[in-house]
Structure 1
Amino acid sequence: MAIPFTPNVQITAVTARVTGIVSFIPIPFNLPNSNGCVNSGMQCPLSPNVSQTYTASLPVLKSYPAIPVVVQWELLDQNNQKMVCIKFPVQLK
């Protein structure tokens, strides 16, 4: 997963949060690394008006049921405010 974005203010910390939405029910996913400033292709602080690309992967365990899911991936700043929020459908197999 690669998410390009450009912050409009200085960002000192980034937290990634992933939620799977199944039949309108949000289910949080645990990321191996939720710190967006470490091993994500970015280094904090992030400067305003400078393009960034957040990279990460989400492990899919064999124990997950084979169902359609909407994945919501958010990047939060040091104030726990959303900087980026994307949603995309996936089909677990």
Structure 2
Amino acid sequence: MKQCNMLSLISLTVLLASVNAKFYTDCGSKLASVQDMTVSGCSPDAKECVLKRNSNATFSIDFTPAADTKTLETVVHGIIMDLPVPFPLPQPDACKDSGISCPLKAGQPAKYKTTLPVLRSYPKVRVNVKWELQNEKGEDLVCLLIPARIN
């Protein structure tokens, strides 16, 4: 009987750990708390996101600013062999076409969402995507690192 209870407890612990698993890591969200992040086609328990060339990927971030923010800019880098390579965005102003209205108020949850083209010309490579949302002073509200593979 005790072995059955112990096995149930271990199974429950593994299940809870996998439910809380995240494919991304926080790399310095200083002025906001991140509640969730999703990338289309990426499972929350995946080791890396697969970004298919010649398609679009939708990124969504739920966060709560800790300070009032007048503006918000999206900055994205692909980190390959520890070298950050700037990634051009169709709309770097995170206050436009992303579901966010600026200014942002401290303590009020926000949901950022954008679609990013993954061009056919991109090489097939493993990359860490560094996704930042920065205020008017260039400070990170949100900084997330997403392991990905362009396929």
Q: Report the TM-score when normalising by structure 2.
A: 0.60
Q: Which runs of 5+ in 2 are unaligned?
A: 1-58
* Match among 66, 71, 83 for residue 124 of structure 2: 66
RMSD: 0.7
Provide the rounded CA distance (Å) in 2 between the counterparts of 1:33 and 1:85: 18
Name the stretch that deviates more: 65-74 or 50-59: 50-59
| Amino acid in the other structure paired with 1:59 | P
1:18 aligns with: 76
Supply the distance in 2 between the matched residues of 1:56 and 1:44 (Cα, whole angstroms). 16
Unaligned regions of 5+ residues in structure 1, if any? none
Residue identity (%): 37
Determine which structure has more spread, i.e. the larger CA radius of gyration.
2
TM-score under structure 1 length normalisation:
0.96
More helix by share: 2
Partner of residue 49, structure 2: none
Indicate whether 1:40 and 2:40 are aligned.
no
Q: What is the SS of the residue equivalent to 1:55?
A: strand
In structure 1, what is the Cα distance between the partners aligned to 2:115 and 2:132?
13
Query: Aligned partner of 2:75: which letter?
Result: R
> Higher relative contact order by CA 8 Å / sep ≥ 6: 1 or 2?
1
1:26, 1:9 → 2: CA distance?
A: 28
